[in-house]
Structure formats: structure tokens, C-alpha cells
Amino acid sequence: MKVMEQYCEPCVVDFPSIVVNAKTIEGIFNKCLEYFGVSEEYVKMKNRKRERVLIRQMCMYAIKLNTRKSLEDIGYFFNGKDHTTVIHAINTVNDLCDTDESVKREFESLKSFVTN
């Protein structure tokens, strides 16, 4: 019986994180839109204005944190963007959080909003 407990216990401990990560790209994206108070078109539009780009990058990162979807799937959702664009988005948000306290507070607030 000791052997069963050894192998089964980690499965039970990890189960809640699997349930949390079972969210959809669309569901997380809609929560992000609600948080920022913008439309889907606003975020997905091909536009390089800093404000729009940062919102789009934060959305990509929030989706990656809250789903088990691949970088390719997330990029495809954002009008067929490449997986490297999603990697760049994650790195950019991380770097900005390290250097800009207001961006860090905003992203922490978004993460909290999305998970509740």
C-alpha cells in the first residue's frame, strides 16, 4: 500500500493546478478585454501604437499563464502571429515589469482579475 501512496499522492496534489489551467484562450482573452475596457478589434488590429501593443502583449502573456495552449496556438489566435511574437511579448512584459513599477502593478492586477 505504501507504494500506491507514493505514486498516487503527487497526482492528487497537482490536480487543482490542472483544473485552473483548463481555461480557454477565448475566455482569458475576454477577461483581458473586460479588464482593459477595449474591444477585440482594438487589440487584434494591426497597429504598432505602444498602448495597443502593450495591451496585446499582456493579453498573450496572461493567456500563456492561464492555459496549457502552445505558443503557436496563442499566436494563431492573434490573427496568425508567429510563436516567436508570443515569446517576444512574454519577454517584453517581463522586462517592463522589472524596470517599470506601473507596468508591474498593472500586470499583477490583470493576472488577479483574470484568475478571479
pLDDT of residue 37: 96
pLDDT of residue 20: 40
Q: Which of 54, 107, 57 is nearest to 87 (CA)?
A: 57
The answer to pTM > 0.95 is no
C-alpha 24/C-alpha 30 separation (Å) is 10
88-94 long-range contacts, CB within 8 A, separation 24+: 88/57, 89/56, 89/57, 89/58, 89/60, 89/61, 90/57, 90/60, 90/61, 90/64, 92/57, 93/54, 93/57, 93/58, 93/61
- Each of the 116 residues of the chain gets a pLDDT tens digit; together they read 444 444 554 444 444 433 443 589 999 999 999 999 999 999 999 888 999 999 999 999 999 999 999 999 999 999 999 999 999 999 999 999 999 999 999 999 999 999 98
The domain 2-115 belongs to what CATH superfamily? DnaA protein, C-terminal DNA-binding domain (1.10.1750.10)
